[in-house]
Amino acid sequence: MSDANAPWLVVGLGNPGPGYAANRHNVGFMVADLLAERVGGSFKRAQKAQAQVLEGRVGPPGPAGRRVVLAKPLSYMNLSGGPVTALRDFYKVPTANIVAIHDELDIDYGMLRLKLGGGDNGHNGLKSMTKAMGPDYHRVRFGIGRPPGRLQVADFVLKDFSSVERKELGYFVDRAADSVECLVTEGLERAQSTYNS
């Protein structure tokens, strides 16, 4: 069980730079950006890590709200573990209070699955995080589905969402942000029963 007063570190995984911004692989950044909007602040370059961060609270106003550090690593996806570990150490966040938001090939587009721990399923961002600090952090897995036809996985994840997918993307990103807030304020079981699809 995590320390009730410890902050949470919520990390959107993605690749930095405008060329990657709308890629499927960057859906973690999209959710982090929406959470930042809700918190009412903007990301700033971290002093102690290669990341953009925003400190704030989620949940009900007052003491019931939970302290969070939202983060977007500025390394490439496959090097996410370094910045996340530096932020964990700087903000004194227990590993069980870390949430990684990431794209997931094995789940249909727009579906969510929340879990604690587990393997990396070939995801380079998770692989880097797990190598740096072990697997015992939370994941918000945002389904992007499998590539159509013979399209390679690497090409698929680095492509932008299709025009059909973009019609619902805002709704799904909003729902993923809700699931993160629920996880942080009400716990994993409640978030799973409400948002796992």
Residue 102: active-site member: no
Q: Do 53 and 71 touch, CB atoms closer than 8 A?
A: yes
The strands making up 51-58's β-sheet, listed across from edge to edge, are 44-45, 51-58, 66-73, 8-12, 98-104, 138-143, 112-116
- Per DSSP, the residues of 86-101 read HHHHHHT--GGGEEEE
Q: Report strand pairing: 8-12 vs 138-143.
A: unpaired
Q: How many whole angstroms separate alpha carbon 181 and alpha carbon 66?
A: 9
Token pair recorded at residue 152: 């390679």
The H or E element containing residue 18 is none
Catalytic residue among 25, 102, 123, 138: 25
Positions marked active-site: 25
